[in-house]
């Protein structure tokens, strides 16, 4: 089932320009088969195929696109253990985690199917003409969101199912009516190919053009560059590092016709420990904190990398509890050797800085085998502010507990924060009232504020926002998780003075699909007779 070929608009292509292998994360040995490096001609073919299929995709009925997404969910599940076993070999993610993530990917398909059937996401609005209005007659004006065109998706290394070939970016683009070209992640190309074949099969079942999807594989940065720079690409979705996301943003901005890059690029996700909660349950918070730091070997963009608490006995109790729980954490294999090497290098730098102390370590792992050791550090706020290295995301199971003298220190740190995906506040209701200024500051800095919890573990529901001000994301208005992610791949079009038979059906007075619309300022599904 895995051939190592490019999947380009319904056909398979055996690349002739170099090959690479996936690596077994457990033993470092190459996995079969060899995968070809996509070349510029294949990029052009994929983008032209996507463009040729775009009109059919955008004019397909909501029901037809919804059926396609439900067929895709069925195809993913039909792979069974084959998909889980290949993903385990390529990522070392535990089977329980992979099974849960597969469920999330399947549920995303079904959520978007329900969303486009319901229809309100398109923001349909109608304002009827008032020809007798004085002093100026009012024309008939109608508006809706329409898909923008071919989308390029860069999948994440740490979510091979939910933020990958069949992840939120791809599924939301399809739901909007776009065609999609995915750049497979070179760390798990076999998983990518299996999922790419699911998309191809679902398009066939739904009787939608196979040219609407391509999967290009390769390790070269030139492949990503070519996809972003191709003139038929209309938007880009990316999940990964700040360095990678910023490079794509710069490429997109430098095009003769710039396009948006919706990049989610990581965060240090500060945690604020307020006095009331610390007096009540410092030890319990410490246990939950270590669980969050080490969840998924710390390979989450919402990992709590910096914690701030007030100096004193309560913070000392928290540190002691964190040390006890961290010491029990086994060494765990990271996604691939490169990530583990970067983790070791990052925490090594922290260890060399003045007034930075290692509070506790978990069981020692072999970095040569890609195993990471949990590490909890502590420092003063002054040192955290003075050393940029301490405020830079280190991907893995590590965190820094920062000692503050008073609440003013926390406010000062919050005001100086760059954009973040999340921030967490542990407190009592009275703490929240007394520290309302902290919340007001974080509202300007953060995409999601969590009370008495941590950012790890995201619920993909309509109310979820996964994004934040730069550099957490390239555009703080949009989410990369949840059904509102569809809004990245659409734009409004206004129709003025059109006859009924020349309008999109959902904007006609008859409203045959009973879509939710704003009619002269009032929401209704009714036809306008």
Tokens found for residue 82: 């084959």
From residue 337, give the alpha-carbon distance in Å to each of 14, 286, 308, 333, 446: 28, 29, 31, 9, 31
- What is the rounded CA–CA span in Å between residue 66 and residue 300? 30
SS (H, E, C) 6-49: EEECCEEECCCCCEEEEECCCCCCEEEEEEECCCHHHHHHHHHH
107 lies in the same domain as 161: yes
Q: What is the CATH number of the domain that holds 174?
A: 3.40.605.10
55 lies in the same domain as 169: yes
pLDDT of residue 24: 92
SS (H, E, C) 259-288: CCEEEECCCCCCEEECHHHHHHHHHHHHHH
Beta bridge partners of 215: 7, 182
Domain end point (choices 401, 435, 451): 451
**Domain annotation covers residue 465:** no
DSSP state at residue 473: B
- What is the rounded CA–CA span in Å between residue 290 and residue 399? 9
Pairing mode, strands 420-426 and 375-380: unpaired
Q: What is the pLDDT along the chain (529 residues), one digit of tens a residue?
A: 899 999 999 999 987 777 899 999 888 899 999 999 999 999 999 999 999 999 999 999 999 999 999 999 999 999 999 999 999 999 999 999 999 999 999 999 999 999 999 999 999 999 999 999 999 999 999 999 999 999 999 999 999 999 999 999 999 999 999 999 999 999 999 999 999 999 999 999 999 999 999 999 999 999 999 999 999 999 999 999 999 999 999 999 999 999 999 999 989 999 999 999 999 999 999 999 999 999 999 999 999 999 999 999 999 999 999 999 999 999 999 998 889 999 999 999 999 998 999 999 999 987 778 899 999 999 999 999 999 999 989 999 999 999 999 999 999 999 999 999 999 999 999 999 999 999 999 999 999 999 999 999 999 999 999 999 999 999 999 999 999 999 999 999 999 999 999 999 999 999 998 999 999 999 999 998 6
**Domain annotation covers residue 371:** yes
420 lies in the same domain as 289: yes
CB 34 within 8 A of CB 21: yes
248 lies in the same domain as 356: no
Residues taking part in catalysis: 264, 301
395 lies in the same domain as 294: yes
Q: What is the domain extent for residue 438?
A: 271-451
**Domain annotation covers residue 457:** no
φ, ψ at 368 (rounded to 5°): -65, -25
Q: DSSP readout, 82-147? A: HHHHHHHHHH---HHHHHHHHHHHHHHHHHHHHHHHH-GGG-EEEE--BTT-SSSPBPPEEEEEEE
236 lies in the same domain as 254: yes
Under 8 Å CB-to-CB from 112, ≥6 apart: which residues? 66, 69, 171, 172, 174, 175, 483, 486
Q: What is the CATH number of the domain that holds 277?
A: 3.40.309.10
3-state secondary structure of 377: strand
133 lies in the same domain as 258: yes
Count of domains for the chain: 3
pLDDT of residue 221: 95
375 lies in the same domain as 241: no
From residue 23, give the alpha-carbon distance in Å to each of 26, 91, 98, 163: 9, 9, 18, 20
309 lies in the same domain as 382: yes
pLDDT of residue 28: 86
316 lies in the same domain as 244: no
173 lies in the same domain as 289: no
**Domain annotation covers residue 100:** yes
pLDDT of residue 17: 74
pLDDT of residue 15: 74
**Domain annotation covers residue 10:** no
- Cβ atoms < 10 Å from Cβ of 390: 21
Give the orientation angle of helix 168-176 with respect to helix 62-78, to 10 degrees.
150
196 lies in the same domain as 317: no
- What is the rounded CA–CA span in Å between residue 382 and residue 356? 11
pTM: 0.95
**Domain annotation covers residue 186:** yes
């Amino acid at each position: 089932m895995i051939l190592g070929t490019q999947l380009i608009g319904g056909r398979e292509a055996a690349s002739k320009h170099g090959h690479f292998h996936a690596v077994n994360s457990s033993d470092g040995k190459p996995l079969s088969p060899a995968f070809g490096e996509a070349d510029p001609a294949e990029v052009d073919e994929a983008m032209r195929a996507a463009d040729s299929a775009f009109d059919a995709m955008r004019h397909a009925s909501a029901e037809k696109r919804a059926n396609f997404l439900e067929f895709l969910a069925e195809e993913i599940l039909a792979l069974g253990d084959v998909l889980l076993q290949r993903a385990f070999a390529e990522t070392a993610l535990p089977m329980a985690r992979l099974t849960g993530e597969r469920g999330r990917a399947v549920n995303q398909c079904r959520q978007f199917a329900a969303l486009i059937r319901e229809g309100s996401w398109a923001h349909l609005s109608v304002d009827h003409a008032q020809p007798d209005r004085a002093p100026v007659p009012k024309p008939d004006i109608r508006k809706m969101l329409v898909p923008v065109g071919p989308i390029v998706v860069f999948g994440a290394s740490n979510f091979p199912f939910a933020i990958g070939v069949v992840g939120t970016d791809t599924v939301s683009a399809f739901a909007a009516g776009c065609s999609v070209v995915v750049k497979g992640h070179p760390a798990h190309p076999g998983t990518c190919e299996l999922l790419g074949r699911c998309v191809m099969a679902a398009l066939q079942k739904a009787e939608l053009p196979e040219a609407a999807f391509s999967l290009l594989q390769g390790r070269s940065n030139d492949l990503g560059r070519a996809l972003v720079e191709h003139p038929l690409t209309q938007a880009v979705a990316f999940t990964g590092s700040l360095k990678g996301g910023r490079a794509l943003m710069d490429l997109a901005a430098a095009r003769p016709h710039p396009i948006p890059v919706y990049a989610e690029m990581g965060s240090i996700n500060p945690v604020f420990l307020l006095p009331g909660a610390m007096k009540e349950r410092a030890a319990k918070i410490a246990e939950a904190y270590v669980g969050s730091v080490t969840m998924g070997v710390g390979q989450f963009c919402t990992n709590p990398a910096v914690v701030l608490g007030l100096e004193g006995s309560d913070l000392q109790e928290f540190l002691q509890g964190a040390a006890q729980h961290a010491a029990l954490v086994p060494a765990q294999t990271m996604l691939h050797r490169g990530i583990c090497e970067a983790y070791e290098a990052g925490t090594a730098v922290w260890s060399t800085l003045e007034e930075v102390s290692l509070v506790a370590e978990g069981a020692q792992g072999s970095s040569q085998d890609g195993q990471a050791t949990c590490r909890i550090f502590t420092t003063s706020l002054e040192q955290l502010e003075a050393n940029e290295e301490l405020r830079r995301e280190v991907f893995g199971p590590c965190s820094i507990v920062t000692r503050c003298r008073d609440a003013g220190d926390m406010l000062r740190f919050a005001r100086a924060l760059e954009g973040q995906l999340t921030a967490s506040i542990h407190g009592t209701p009275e703490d929240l009232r007394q520290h309302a200024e902290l919340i007001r500051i974080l509202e300007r800095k953060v995409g999601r504020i969590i009370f008495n919890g941590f950012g790890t573990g995201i619920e993909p529901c309509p109310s979820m926002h996964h994004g934040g001000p730069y550099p957490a994301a390239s555009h703080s208005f949009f989410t990369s998780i949840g059904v509102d992610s569809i809004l990245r791949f659409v734009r409004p079009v206004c129709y003025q003075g059109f006859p009924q038979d020349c309008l999109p059906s959902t904007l006609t007075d008859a409203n045959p699909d009973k879509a939710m619309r704003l009619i002269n300022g009032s929401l209704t599904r009714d036809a306008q007779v």
